[in-house]
Structure 1
Amino acid sequence: MSEFVTISEIVQKLKFTVKSGVDFISKRTMISDLSRPGLELTGYFDFYPSDRIQVLGRTEISYIKSISHMNRMAIFEEMCQKDTPAFLITRDLEVPPELMAVATSNGIPVISSSMPTSQVSSMLEQYLSDRLAERISVHGVFVEIYGLGVLITGESGIGKSETALELLKRGHLLVADDRVEIHQLNQSSLIGEPPEILLHLLEIRGLGIIDVMSLFGVGAVRDRADINLKVELLNWDDNNRYDRIGAQIEGDQILGIEVPRVKVPVRVGRDIPGIIEAAAMNYRAKLMGFDAAKKFDDNLSRLIAKNSALDQENETAEQRKKDHEAASKKS
């Protein structure tokens, strides 16, 4: 998790323009939320979130133009606090000279974007949320199979990278090998991506490190993806009883979000890449309402009911036969 993001990083990443205070763009923000001042422009500062980037759009700039020079100076003096990271002007609107002067005297940069306020606010909040989100690092391989992000974990040397290589040959995509950096996108989604040093690289024991993009092309890699399914590779143990029906999908908690998990035992002769492909397709089918385990259970229930009915019919017929024989003996 990054503790802060500098205004310089924001300007470079989102292609903003520095209007004033270029010497101050090393200032930091530690909050992903933005502030779009409204009541503050009228002089109400009781709940002013001064530690957020202040966004001024067409409405705010129009109002500022309608008030006197003295009022502008007084408002901006209140808004330019020590912990204010920056002022962001949208639509490339003209920056009020009073804002430039007061911001510069307080060491606060003024930046701008040509995009509409709602669009730039959404983009900036998403960027800050990604950068400031809590992150964990997981040992494993992360691939995208049929549009689903599949996190493959297991003991070192069990064959995770070799499995990823075979999946690449089958047309699937590599996101990360060896280490997967995970952070929360929202209350129900996780994002996985590789550490910068391992981007597009895959390590195969006995072969070394290979550049996946060079060997398989740009269509074989992704820089990040949602984590939809976890596949845990296990060494085969004859004493274990492995799930043969899959009626219940287990889950693992990652950053407070439950990720469906499938356990796949590994031994010589098993097509592990093919099994993982099938696991991804089966999970997608369940999301669409097609559950093979439920279908098997329904078929079994119908067969039991059918056999029970046949048994009942046979018992009834046998009883009738006995009753008939008894009646014949009496007569």
Structure 2
Amino acid sequence: MKKITVENLVRRFSLKVVAGENQLQKVITQSRVHRPGLEFVGHFDFFPTERVQILGKKEITYLNKISEEERKIRIGNIVQYHPPCFILTAGEDLTYLTHHCNEQGIPLLMTKQPETTSDFITRLDAYLMKELAPEIAVHGVCVNVSGIGILLRGNSGVGKSETAHTLIRRGHRLVADDIVVLKKLSPQTILGTHDEKTKEFLALRSIGLLNVVRIYGRRAFQDESRIALDIHLTKWQKDDLNNELDQKPQYIEYMGVKVPSLEIQLQPGRDVAGLIEAAANNWYLRQQGYSAAEEFMSRIEADISGSSNQ
């Protein structure tokens, strides 16, 4: 199981450490946060104790209104479950909460910049979801073509990186070369990214390692992209090309998520980058409900129907 620490949150979101400074290595394993509301009034049947606990204006207002004795009981009932940490977004340094957290060894953090609780939760949930998502590494190249994430696969030396270079020169973006990290964000979503070491780098045979940002500018690189298409680049096989008007949908699975897949054969002089652009645009049109093959067949049927009525 993947995990991050409370210290990772402190650095990523520039949080102030109010209590539990020696407990910042506590592990976070859940990808969503929780606002304890029912728990403050005694309902713990569904308390997600392994989640980061967020205290916003509503929670703090409630705690400030009740008596000191009752507040001690309410907070004590929660801290005994030892969640990874508490984060205050209401801009108040609460002495009574600091005492409980120090006593139980729970980090208490606070946002430094003014921000609504809902906005902070949205940012934090997104970060945790990406960081804790199941992931695998595959050999290939990831590019973003006209806003569409594409995973290029194929045997070593087939021309994946060279094809990506051509796409970059046409205004598209590199995401990762050689090693592509795939993250499962949901049952329908796979995110492609790099492994940090290869960030912005593209390796071309006979040329060497290129930094695409230094050569082509910031727009040549994108940190991550949702994978919409999987394209397998293969060597040219003359008798193996499929010339049907409408290709039957093919899929490949990554961590249980199905991704549309197709094969493109390479041959000297063949505009493979152009074919990839066409595949990306055709995928987009299909998402809008349009099929060129269906329109073509409807024209044929209309022509046949017109001829038979004459």
Matched residue of 1:98: which SS?
helix
Shift of 1:228: 1.4
Contact kept, 8 Å, 1:189 with 1:227, in 2: the verdict is: yes
- Deviation of the 1:65 alpha carbon: 1.1
Q: Answer yes or no: is the 8 Å Cα contact 2:56–2:90 preserved in 1.
A: yes
The residue number in structure 1 matching 2:242 is 242
Q: SS of the counterpart of 1:178?
A: strand
Matched, 1:98 2:96: yes
TM-align CA RMSD: 1.9
**Which letter maps to 1:211?**
N
Partner of 2:259: 259
Provide the C-alpha distance between the structure 1 equivalents of 2:284 and 2:304, rounded to a whole number of angstroms: 30
The SS at the match of 2:238 is: coil
Shift of 1:306: 5.1
| C-alpha distance in 2 between matches for 1:67 and 1:82 | 22
* 8 Å contact kept, 2:2–2:134: no
What's 1:108 paired with? 106
Alignment check: 8 A CA contact 2:60 2:90 kept: no
Whether the 8 Å CA contact 1:247–1:294 is kept in 2: the answer is no
User: Structure 2: where are the runs of 5+ without partners?
Assistant: none
Q: Verify the 8 A CA contact 1:85 1:108 in the aligned structure 2.
A: yes
Q: Which moved more, 1:253-262 or 1:119-128?
A: 253-262
Contact 1:18 1:112 in 2 (8 A): yes
| 8 Å contact from structure 1 (residues 17, 112) kept in 2 | yes
SS in 1 for 2:278: helix
Taking the aligned partners of 1:285 and 1:42, their CA distance within structure 2 comes to 52
Q: Distance in 2 between matches of 1:44 and 1:291?
A: 53
Deviations 1:190-232 (A, max 9, x none): 2110111000000111211111111111111000111111211
Bigger shift: 137-146 or 40-49? 40-49
Q: Which amino acid aligns with 1:62?
A: T
- SS of residue matched to 1:74: helix
User: Which of structures 1 and 2 has the bigger CA Rg?
Assistant: 1
What are the Cα deviations for residues 73-114 of structure 1, in whole angstroms up to 9, with x where unaligned? 22222211364100111131332x221111111111101123
**Pairwise CA distance, 1:48:** 2.8
> Aligned residues: percent identity?
33
Call closer, same or farther: CA 1:35–1:288 in 2, change over 3 Å. closer
Q: In structure 1, how many angstroms separate the alpha carbons of the residues matched to 2:158 and 2:63?
A: 64
Residue in 2 that maps onto 1:274? 274
Deviation at 1:299, TM superposition (A): 2.9
Measured against aligned partners, the alpha-carbon deviations of 1:110-147 in whole angstroms (never above 9, x if no partner) come to: 01123211111121111111111111112111111111
Matched residue, 2:216: 216
Farther-moved stretch of structure 1 (187-196 vs 163-172): 187-196
Q: State TM-score, norm by structure 2.
A: 0.93
Q: Within 2, Cα distance between the matches of 1:30 and 1:223?
A: 24
State yes or no: 1:206 paired with 2:206: yes
Map of 1:322 onto structure 2: none
CA distance in 2, matches of 1:283, 1:151: 14
- Please tell me the residue identity of whatever aligns with 2:50: D
Please list the CA deviations of residues 293-323 of structure 1 after superposition, one character each: whole Å capped at 9, or x if unmatched: 222222333444456x28xx8xxxxxxxxxx
Alpha carbons 2:55, 2:90 under 8 Å: kept? no
Q: Is the 8 A contact 1:5 1:29 kept in 2?
A: yes
Which amino acid in 2 is paired with 1:157? G
Task: Measure, in 2, the Cα distance between the counterparts of 1:303 and 1:115.
Answer: 63
Q: Secondary structure at the match of 1:18?
A: strand
- The corresponding residue for 2:25 is 26
SS across alignment from 1:111: strand
Greater Cα shift, 162-171 or 281-290? 281-290
Q: Secondary structure at the match of 1:171?
A: coil
2:151 alignment partner AA:
L
Secondary structure in 1 matching 2:268 = coil
> Structure 2 vs 1, CA of residues 46 and 227 (structure 1 numbering), >3 Å: closer, same or farther?
closer
Alignment of 1:99-248 (within 5 A): 99-113=97-111, 114-248=114-248
CA contact (8 A) 1:247 1:293 kept: no
Question: What SS class does the counterpart of residue 213 from structure 2 fall into?
Answer: helix
**AA paired with 1:90?**
T
Counterpart of 1:261, as a letter, is S
Q: Which runs of 5+ in 1 are unaligned?
A: 314-331
Equivalence for 1:17? 16
Describe the SS at the equivalent of 1:206: coil
Match of 2:59 in 1: 60
Q: What is the distance in 2 between the residues matched to 1:31 and 1:287?
A: 33
Task: Determine if contact 1:174/1:200 at 8 Å carries over to the other structure.
Answer: yes
Tell me what 2:76 maps to: 77
Q: Which residue of 1 aligns with 2:287?
A: 287
